[in-house]
Amino acid sequence: MTDEAILDAVAAQARWMEALLADLVRAPTVLGAEDAGQAVMARAFADCGLEPVDVPLRADALRGAEGASPFSWDVVGKRNVVATWPADAEAEGARSLILNGHVDVVPPAAEHLWTRPPYGAVREGDWLYGRGAGDMKAGLAAMAGAVRALRGLGLPLGAPVQLQSVVEEECTGHGALQCLLDGHRADACVITEPHPDHLTVAQVGVLWFHVDVDGVPAHAARADRLGFNAIEAAGAVLEALRGLEAELNADPPPPYDAFAHPINLNPGIVAGGDWTSTVAASCTLSCRLACFPGESPDALAERVEATVARAAAEDPRLAGGRARVRYDGFRCEGCAVAEDEPLVRALGDAYERRHGERPALVATTATTDARHFVRAGIPAVCFGPRAERIHGVDERVSLSSMVETAQVLALFVRDWSGAIRPGSEGPARGKEEKDHHVVHGREPAGRG
């Protein structure tokens, strides 16, 4: 099965992938409303000739799991959708694989600023616009299109390939974590995030925290001498946190020393007050802060709490516990994969055959679900279509890039999990050989 045959077969899936992407973008899969997108993905996996299976989120299992984040919302009824392409027979050198993407999206901030409907899936030239078009529904379409093309060609597999459409990547990563808890594992994972022209091999950890500030309400007519405004006091807390941000950026380790400002504090939500003519009695500052791979998010949380405590000690208005830190959402470590990892080499080889040059290997100042796989001993990298303005206004994705991503993935799947071709030694193996896991959620019979 030649490279040319695979590239042509994937190109023939372009319209199918675009239609799938448009259906996904039209589904507003924000937190708590992901199921409409999962219904689309279940149909897409079935259209690939695979049997989609639900992997429900289970709060009891997640709350006690290593790598879980604190969460206050209900996960009843939430599901991941997975579909496994089973191996035809074991082949020497073939390894199992997970292709993973998330269906959830962030809210379309400031809809009045969008020049096209956020969920309209409007195409203009090579670009398709819409919330989640790039982050990361085009990646879901690309991985499904790659598998659909290979199955149409009749590629024999020497190790299984699983497609995963997961939820909650944007707030906890618990969709991917639940898949791992339920036994869906493999020898490697590629997450089709919008990371074009490179493979992402390192990412930061992320902490979400919320600072609740209490004020003293009073009539606004006497605000100059009565009451204490919690909203204004939250500003003092934020100023102190900016000092912590500067400390965290003072001496970044490699590869983050190549970034001018790798650790970012983002005050994403400020909520306070209850009446325009009343001195604000409360304010909550909800923030995102990052940490480097190898650093503990628990240690970062301790530094946040110490910073808020210092700010309170320096402002008598905040004395007596008027500023408190709590956690809800991301609390995760960073991760990194070695540049000589067989997954990195093999995916890089496939990229080079499609594009004529090797991809860059980069670090990101964002987080992805890769950390869950790495923690479980499964090397994971990110590679996907070209997108612009993700989490911003008029998010868009390149449709030609989506097809190119699918072509690279198809070549990689053939080399990594397919049958051995004449004259090929198969994908390189590490020094510590291990049998591949079956990705149905159980070990192969007879294996330890």
- How many helices (H) and strands (E) the chain has is answered by 11, 18
Q: Is 169 a catalytic residue?
A: yes
Q: Provide the pairing of β-strand 161-166 with 331-332.
A: unpaired
CA angle at residue 78 from 73 to 79, to 5 degrees? 145
Residue 320 pLDDT: 74
Cβ neighbours of residue 129 closer than 8 Å, sequence gap 6 or more? 116, 120, 121, 122, 123, 394, 395, 396
Residue 109 pLDDT: 84
CA gap 201, 341 in Å, rounded: 10
Amino acid in the structure at residue 371: R
CA gap 22, 120 in Å, rounded: 8
Q: What are phi and psi of 246, to 5 degrees?
A: -65, -40
Amino acid in the structure at residue 384: G
Amino acid in the structure at residue 20: L
CA gap 297, 241 in Å, rounded: 16
CA gap 293, 300 in Å, rounded: 12
The encoded tokens of residue 203 equal 């990412």
Amino acid in the structure at residue 149: A
Side-chain-side CA neighbours of 341 within 13 Å: the count stands at 22
Residue 54 pLDDT: 98
Q: Kindly report the number of other CB atoms within 10 A of residue 257's CB atom.
A: 9
CA gap 181, 185 in Å, rounded: 9
Q: Is 56 helix (H, G, I), strand (E, B) or coil?
A: strand
258 near 276, Cβ under 8 Å?
A: no
CA angle at residue 188 from 186 to 194, to 5 degrees? 125
Query: Torsion over CA of 291, 67, 391 and 269, rounded to 10 degrees?
Result: -80
Residue 419 pLDDT: 63
- 68: Cα separation from own chain's centroid: 14
Catalytic residue (choose from 169, 193, 333, 394): 169
CA gap 159, 170 in Å, rounded: 30
The dihedral sign for the CA sequence 242, 244, 245, 249? positive
For 167-291, strand residue ranges (E) read: 189-191, 198-203, 205-214, 266-272, 282-291
Residue 315 pLDDT: 86
DSSP state of 417: H
Q: Is 251 a catalytic residue?
A: no
Which residue ranges form the domains of the chain, and what is each CATH number?
3-203+334-417 (3.40.630.10), 205-332 (3.30.70.360)
Amino acid in the structure at residue 315: D
List the one residue out of 400, 389, 401, 397 whose CA is nearest residue 128. 397
Q: Is 422 helix (H, G, I), strand (E, B) or coil?
A: coil
Q: Which residues of the chain have pLDDT under 70?
A: 419-448
Bridge partner list, 100: 164, 191
Residue 1 pLDDT: 85
CA gap 15, 20 in Å, rounded: 9
Catalytic residue (choose from 18, 104, 168, 341): 104
